[in-house]
Structure 1
Amino acid sequence: MAQAPALPFSKIRLSRGLAFLSGEIAFAEDDSIPEGIAAQTALVLKRIANTLGTAGLDLDDVVQVAVHLVNETDFSAFNAEYRQHFKDPLPVRTTVVARLLAPGALLEVTVTAAQRD
């Protein structure tokens, strides 16, 4: 799932002990997007975990999360699914409502993780 993007950006960059990930949208293996915020959140976080894994990291290493939701009414359902993927101490997070360029996408998530010593 951590294939190279077709657009001019890196999926992950490591610098000074930090891993910076580009925004992730819930594209399935067949490039479809599942319906519903819970399914999309779960898939996005799975894809992020897979990308982090290429650098020897996982979701426990995430220190910062930025979330772009299409619908503010999805905030509660998003939080319920999100909470299933992160342990305390939770990463710091910013959540905004935004229009996304991928039709059918309900959210985009990007993270910063700290490399282990």
Structure 2
Amino acid sequence: MFGIDGVTSAAASQDSAPMPAVTFDLFTAFVVAVALVLAWLVYRWTASAPGSPVQASKGERLAYAIGAAASVIVIGGYLGGGFRGFGYPEPDARPVSSDSRSTALVQGPVADGSPADHGP
């Protein structure tokens, strides 16, 4: 362990700290591979034929390719992670705890704050 004026080196801190878990997500690798292939195809497809009156510059072609790759990654992210939608809380609603153990289980639908079929 190396210490200089109370600062421990990175090598020494690795000895005592647990290693973070690194996972390999196959779906993410597939989405990135598809995005790269599509970007290459779009770059090739947007090349102008020789003698064509409209010539796309390399920068424009690159912008089209990057846009296509980003679109594939965004759509793949929604497909892989699931789209949960947007929720807007009511103005007078109480804040929801992120700890699910502190919430009470309510049977049946809740319309006005009291469980259904339990009084007025």
Tell me if both proteins adopt one fold, taking TM over 0.5 as the criterion: no
| TM-score bracket, shorter-length normalisation | under 0.3
Richer in strand (by share): 1
Larger of the two Rg values belongs to structure? 2
Larger RCO (CA within 8 A; separation ≥ 6): 1
